[in-house]
Amino acid sequence: MASAAVQNKTPRKVLKKSTRDSLIAYSFIAPNFIGFCVFTLVPMVFAIALAFCAWDGRHAIEFVGLKNFVKLFTTDKIFQAALKNTIVYVIGTVPLTLACSLAMAVLLNQNVKLRNFFRTVAFFPYVASLVAVAAVWNMIFNPSMGPINMILNQFFGVAVENLPRWAAGKDTAMITVILFSVWKNMGYYMVIYLAGLQGCNPDLNEAAELDGANRWQQFWHITLPQLRPTTFFVVIMLTISGFKVYDQMYMITQGGPGTATMTLVYYIYNVAFVNTPKYGYASAISMVLFVLVLIVTILQFRGSKGEN
């Protein structure tokens, strides 16, 4: 009788202990989950709904259907320029940053003198204040007094009237921002590639060297294939950050001259918070940006699966 009573009580104790453990686990998750819902999930859902409405924050929300999207692709020349500039920026920064970071990682993975010092120097621009480095960059590439143009004039014989205007010129502003972004971010992705290189199998290189393969052949046929997962991660991160670029444009060119460096995120900021707010229209631009990033990411994932 006593043993039967103990057996009947045991499942209840186990159930109570399981419930208590679940409540403890949920209590740890709850603060972060509530914060995610309040500050991320709910605003995202509201932004999707707002993309089909017109609202200035003061009057009642008005449903307009697809009117915002039709205006974007038909009459809004600034949006079309921003979309083009964003794609150009991504095409310019992703391969350049990828190549520079990989080259530095391969070089600084060798047993060279002052290797840790050069790694720190290469990584420093990424952690440095954007305001400070942007101010220095604008000073270096100043059209009239910058050292870059002085070097071009004094040592390469470029006439004063032919010197590039860099951030102040419509034809060179985007190039200036791309170079700045590559210089600032390549140290971070160099560290990621260094971690990937640590996981490569050195025995394969030794075997290839015994078979007569030179350094380039070893890198191209052995090292680079082993870095494919790292490269895929770097490309995804660079692509997403490229489509979301805002701070570089704001600090160096303010979207100008004209709309030469106006990007989608910068245009969203202008529409939503500058002059008369148009939150519905800004949400529509955000949805276009979201769909664009989603399509590019899906294509990259499918391409990676195909290669594998």
User: What percentage of the chain carries pLDDT values higher than 70?
Assistant: 94
Helices (H) and strands (E) in the chain, counts: 15, 2
Predicted pLDDT of residue 1:
46
Q: Domain segments of the chain: what residues?
A: 42-75+276-307, 85-264
More confident residue, 208 or 235: 235
90 contacts 239 by C-beta, under 8 angstroms: yes
Which positions ≥6 away from 228 have C-beta within 8 Å?
A: 307
Q: What are the residues whose beta carbons fall under 8 Å from the beta carbon of 16, sequence distance 6 or more?
A: none
Q: Which of 159, 160, 183, 154 is nearest to 252 (CA)?
A: 183
* pTM, 2 dp: 0.88
Q: In this structure, are strands 53-54 and 62-63 parallel, antiparallel, or unpaired?
A: antiparallel
Is residue 52 classed exposed, middle or buried when 0-12, 13-18 and 19+ CB atoms within 10 A define those classes? middle
Q: Which residues lie below 8 Å from residue 256, measured CB to CB, with a gap of 6+?
A: 173, 262
Report d(CA 293, CA 295) in Å as an integer: 6
pLDDT digits over 5-57, tens only? 445 555 666 557 678 888 888 889 999 999 999 999 999 999 999 999 999 88
85-264 belongs to which CATH class?
Answer: mainly alpha
Q: How far is CA 85 from CA 7, 78, 97, 245, 278, in A?
A: 72, 10, 18, 11, 22
The confidence score (pLDDT) of residue 6 equals 46
